Structure 1
């Protein structure tokens, strides 16, 4: 499928390690840990698929890959999980209205999956330890013809 077809949606969790910056940078460029650098190698700035890539941030909720964010520190606590559920659900619905998806790839720790809840997408691939299964992650992205 080409990048304009209803196909893939990637949601990746934020990481503790971030670029230290005084100016906001695109969300996908801010995070330096977890599996974000691996995903960023496939989706450099300007890649059309970044419009189908979201980051679930403990501070900001669900944001687009290119949404500017500044460095922050906010762990995902049970309180944040409860506070983020409704706004994340609204953001996900808005995103799927703009970018329908037939498959989703979730690269999220368990607490982040709890925030996200069930996805209204026919096929969902979920990895709570994506670095251990990176070949599977790449296989899914390849099947979508993502770079």
Structure 2
């Protein structure tokens, strides 16, 4: 079915944020982050593991991780040193993810320093929103065009 095919072609990469749940044990990354635009993304994928598997988080500490990677509360800003480490590791992690979950389009929800740390994506279409708190309608429009819930 065409709608199912389109639903499988998107990839969301959202940057981490300062607002995190305080945990005594590791939790899935998408559940750890409580602020910024993460709740919007989480609300769109909560009822669909197929869509949740198409969400990655770009963490200043952990680099590019899946929504369900178990992590604990931490504090690490995106410094120049961390960005250099992320930039070296992200392409391999992205290639591994795309081998399991092919995508034609990506939606990046992150500030410019995170976009730079991530580097270019090997996809035909990349939507970059560096001010997602002011552009919820644009985010919803992209996700809806992919037939995401």
| Pair in the same fold by TM > 0.5 | yes
Closer, same or farther: CA 142–4 of 1 in aligned 2, 3 Å: closer
**d(CA) in 2 for partners of 1:142, 1:5:** 9
Higher helix share: 2
After superposing on structure 2, the runs of 4+ consecutive aligned residues of structure 1 that deviate more than 2 Å are: 3-6
**d(CA) in 2 for partners of 1:55, 1:80:** 15
Closer, same or farther: CA 5–32 of 1 in aligned 2, 3 Å: closer
Shift of residue 144 of structure 1? 0.7
1:144 alignment partner in structure 2: 146
1:53 alignment partner in structure 2: 55
Shift of residue 47 of structure 1? 2.9
- Mapped pair 1:64 → 2:66: yes
Q: Which runs of 5+ in 1 are unaligned?
A: none
Which of 20, 31, 36 is equivalent to 1:34? 36
SS at match of 1:112: helix
Closer, same or farther: CA 73–45 of 1 in aligned 2, 3 Å: farther
SS at match of 2:134: coil
**d(CA) in 2 for partners of 1:18, 1:127:** 22
Shift of residue 86 of structure 1? 1.3
Q: CA offsets per residue over residues 80-122 of structure 1, 9 Å max, x none?
A: 0011111111101111111111110000111110111111100
Count of residue correspondences: 147
Q: Normalising by structure 2, what TM-score?
A: 0.93
Q: Which runs of 5+ in 2 are unaligned?
A: none
Q: Normalising by structure 1, what TM-score?
A: 0.95
Shift of residue 61 of structure 1? 0.4
- CA-atom RMSD, angstroms? 1.4
SS at match of 2:87: helix
**d(CA) in 2 for partners of 1:41, 1:5:** 16
1:87 alignment partner in structure 2: 89
